[in-house]
């Protein structure tokens, strides 16, 4: 903005503020006793601060501050105040506006009255400003107008602070945005009704000559307003009622008119105004905060519901019933699609493989009883038309206020990943040609059996095919592979399900037989295997001259898988040498 335009703008702001402040000052000067220059009420104390709060630009505030100082001086001088006193009071009033603005900005975030914390900040700012400006006004009135210091100090502090609170509350409430409304009401009609009832009550309390001590009813109507309408409406109604009460009491009407000392009367009514204002605004800001939090919670819950419904991951809330059982509730569409039915229609255990049901129940019980917050488990769900589906379930505890227990469950299809892991595991632990265990898997299983106190001992059988190289050389590797596969199939079919069968490589096989602890038992196993293998060593019914040599090692104290395999290997070679010594 060009300098002339900026100057014109500042002058316009100063003029507008000066006119508004002049009107407020004139009203205050009208509230004077006949024998005193001291105004009993001072609306300018709140108007000045409010005008500065409404201006965002620093230049505009400086222009406004200059305008209100000049307006204060002009009105005070025009209404009979000596020029020196008018000048000093103008400076004090300007200082009040500047200090009040600074403290409100400091103590009230965004200069907006929304919460009880904002009201506390505004009350503190009003009290401090009223104390400083009231003290300065009392000293000025005593020095230049010969007014009593004690009574003047009490009056100035109460009127400046109280008026600032009542008027500035309206400005700060109007600066707030997004004020929530009470559902199902008509705010304008209800506010008009409360305002009319309040005016009638204030006329009864502060205008009519009623001798009954009913001033406490002023608090009741303020409570009504604060609990039913918004902060701004409560502030405006409170200012309206307060103005009526102060004007009537200063003029000598109503029950307070019986107080002979006019300054004491003014202090009493403006103190009551502070109480009524604080009560009403406390309820209104508390209600506004509650409504805002409720609205925010409702928005968050709706966003969560939408996100849950739109999620590609199956989700549900799991609730523990009175019998300790767990049921899925509120499943999202993704979970219904995954399980191909509504899981909330049955108990969760009915959807699971029996083994997994018990395992999942144990995890859920630990969440509920042992203070865990999250857990993760893989289980198999029964899916119509598909069979068993491996899923990963992530569980997060949600403690309920009624003492029950709820858990958020996220269910992910991991069937393909599980199958891929099993394929990788099989490749890592099994021989690709025969499907038998490899050396790594054999070592793990033998060590596990040796460490199991329930297993009395194991026998390790080391088998090697005699003259197998001649088959590969004479008939080709494809024929050799067929022989190895036939041997593997025979070993699997002949040995027990709990026995571990391994191909170490080439034509070497190892079998681990738990529970075989004597040489007689081991010899019986070897005889059974060698008889069964006679057929497997034929190719298309032809005898290729193959035979098998077997070494047996029985476990003893201090043995491990490696030592047993080495011992069985050594014994196998002794058997092989004996076979090579026999005539063919």
Q: What is the DSSP string of 532-554?
A: HHHHHTEETTEE-S-EEEEEEEE
Average pLDDT over residues 225-240: 87
- State pLDDT tens for residues 467-497: 888 888 888 888 889 889 999 999 999 999 8
Residue 401 has pLDDT above 50, yes or no: no
Residue 36 has φ and ψ, to the nearest 5°, of -145, 155
Grade residue 304 by pLDDT with cuts at 50, 70 and 90: low
The token pair that represents 9 in the structure block: 């703008």
Interatomic CA distance for residues 385 and 28, integer angstroms:
87
Give the pLDDT score at 459.
Answer: 94
Grade residue 184 by pLDDT with cuts at 50, 70 and 90: very low
Interatomic CA distance for residues 181 and 193, integer angstroms:
17
CB 290 within 8 A of CB 182: no
Which one, of 225, 207, 216, 218, lies nearest residue 169 by Cα?
225
Give the pLDDT score at 411.
Answer: 86
Interatomic CA distance for residues 449 and 107, integer angstroms:
75
Beta-sheet pairing, 547-554 with 458-466: antiparallel
Give the pLDDT score at 186.
Answer: 55
Give the pLDDT score at 2.
Answer: 45
Distance of CA 116 to the CA centre of its chain: 23
Residue 367 has pLDDT above 70, yes or no: yes
List, in order, residues 6 or more apart from 10 with CB less than 8 Å away: 59, 60, 62, 63
Higher pLDDT, 582 or 436: 436
Interatomic CA distance for residues 327 and 318, integer angstroms:
5
pTM (2 d.p.) = 0.57
Location of structure tokens 């009504």:
224
- State pLDDT tens for residues 19-65: 877 787 778 777 777 767 777 788 888 888 888 888 888 888 888 88
Distance of CA 473 to the CA centre of its chain: 73
Average pLDDT over residues 371-399: 84
468 burial level (CB within 10 Å; 0-12, 13-18, 19+): buried
Residue 539 has pLDDT above 80, yes or no: no
Average pLDDT over residues 133-158: 87
- State pLDDT tens for residues 422-458: 676 666 677 888 889 888 888 999 999 999 999 999 9
578 burial level (CB within 10 Å; 0-12, 13-18, 19+): exposed
Give the pLDDT score at 1.
Answer: 47
Which one, of 568, 569, 561, lies nearest residue 440 by Cα?
561
- Give the alpha-carbon dihedral of 69, 168, 56, 115, to 10 degrees: 160
Most confident of 225-229, 396-400, 534-538: 225-229
Torsion sign across C-alpha atoms 518, 521, 524, 529: negative
Mean pLDDT, rounded, of the chain: 83
Interatomic CA distance for residues 277 and 267, integer angstroms:
15
Give the pLDDT score at 182.
Answer: 41
Grade residue 335 by pLDDT with cuts at 50, 70 and 90: confident
When mean pLDDT is compared across 70-74, 110-114, 191-195, 299-303, the lowest value belongs to 299-303
Q: Which residues is 512 bridged to in the sheet?
A: 460, 500
Give the pLDDT score at 422.
Answer: 66
Give the pLDDT score at 468.
Answer: 87
Give the pLDDT score at 180.
Answer: 42
Interatomic CA distance for residues 105 and 101, integer angstroms:
6
The token pair that represents 122 in the structure block: 């505004």
Grade residue 392 by pLDDT with cuts at 50, 70 and 90: confident
When mean pLDDT is compared across 77-86, 286-295, 554-563, the lowest value belongs to 286-295
SS3 labels along 436-467: CECHHHHHHHHHHHHHCCCCCCEEEEEEEEEC
Which one, of 390, 165, 350, 175, lies nearest residue 274 by Cα?
165
């Amino acid at each position: 903005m060009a300098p002339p335009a900026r100057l014109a703008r500042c002058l316009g702001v100063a003029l507008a503020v000066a006119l508004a402040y002049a009107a407020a000052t004139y009203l205050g000067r009208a509230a004077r006793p006949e024998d005193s220059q001291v105004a009993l009420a001072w609306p300018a104390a709140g108007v000045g601060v409010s005008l500065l709060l409404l201006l965002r630009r620093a230049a505009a505030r400086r222009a406004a501050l200059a305008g209100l100082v000049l307006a204060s001086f002009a009105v005070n001088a025009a209404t009979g105040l000596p020029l020196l006193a008018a000048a000093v009071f103008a400076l004090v009033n300007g200082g009040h506006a500047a200090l009040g603005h600074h403290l409100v900005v400091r103590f009230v975030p965004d200069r907006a009255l929304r919460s009880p914390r904002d009201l506390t900040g505004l009350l503190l700012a009003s009290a401090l400003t009223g104390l400083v400006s009231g003290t300065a006004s009392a000293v000025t009135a005593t020095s230049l107008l010969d007014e009593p210091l004690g009574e003047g100090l009490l009056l100035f502090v109460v009127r400046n602070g109280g008026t600032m609170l009542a008027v500035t509350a309206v400005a700060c409430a109007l600066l707030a945005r997004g004020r929530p409304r009470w559902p199902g009401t008509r705010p304008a009609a209800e506010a008009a009704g409360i305002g009319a009832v309040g005016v009638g009550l204030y006329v009864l309390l502060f205008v009519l000559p009623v001798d009954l001590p009913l001033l406490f009813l002023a608090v009741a109507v303020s409570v009504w307003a604060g609990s039913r309408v918004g902060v701004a409406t409560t502030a405006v109604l409170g200012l309206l009622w307060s103005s009526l009460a102060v004007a009537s009491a200063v003029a000598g009407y109503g029950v307070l008119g019986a107080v002979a000392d006019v300054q004491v009367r003014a202090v009493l009514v403006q103190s009551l105004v502070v109480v009524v204002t604080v009560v009403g605004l406390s309820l209104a800001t508390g209600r506004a905060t509650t409504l805002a939090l409720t609205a925010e919670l409702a928005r968050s819950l709706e966003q969560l519901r939408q996100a849950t419904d739109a999620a590609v991951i199956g989700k549900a809330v799991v609730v523990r019933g009175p019998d300790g059982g767990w049921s899925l509730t509120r499943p999202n569409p993704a979970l219904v699609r995954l399980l191909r039915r509504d899981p909330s229609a049955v108990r969760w255990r009915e959807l699971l493989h029996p083994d997994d049901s018990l395992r999942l129940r144990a995890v859920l019980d630990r969440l509920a009883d042992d203070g865990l917050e999250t857990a993760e488990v893989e289980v198999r769900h029964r899916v119509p038309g598909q069979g068993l589906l491996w899923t990963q379930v992530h569980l997060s505890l949600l403690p309920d206020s009624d003492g029950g227990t709820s858990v958020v469950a996220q269910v992910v299809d991991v069937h393909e990943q599980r199958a891929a892991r099993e394929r990788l595991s099989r490749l890592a632990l099994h021989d690709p040609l025969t499907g038998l265990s490899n050396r790594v898997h054999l070592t793990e299983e033998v060590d596990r059996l040796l460490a199991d106190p329930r297993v009395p001992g194991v026998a390790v059988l080391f088998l090697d095919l005699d003259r197998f190289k001649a088959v590969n050389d004479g008939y080709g590797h494809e024929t050799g592979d067929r022989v190895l596969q036939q041997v593997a199939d025979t070993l699997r079919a002949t040995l027990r399900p709990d026995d571990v069968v391994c191909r170490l490589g080439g034509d070497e096989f190892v079998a681990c037989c738990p529970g075989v602890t004597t040489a007689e038992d081991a010899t019986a196993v070897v005889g059974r295997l060698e008889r069964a293998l006679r057929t497997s060593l034929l190719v298309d019914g032809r005898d290729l001259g193959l035979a098998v040599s077997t070494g047996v090692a029985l476990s003893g104290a201090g043995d491990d898988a490696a030592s047993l395999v080495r011992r069985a290997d050594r014994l196998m070679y002794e058997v092989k040498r004996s076979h090579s010594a026999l005539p063919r």
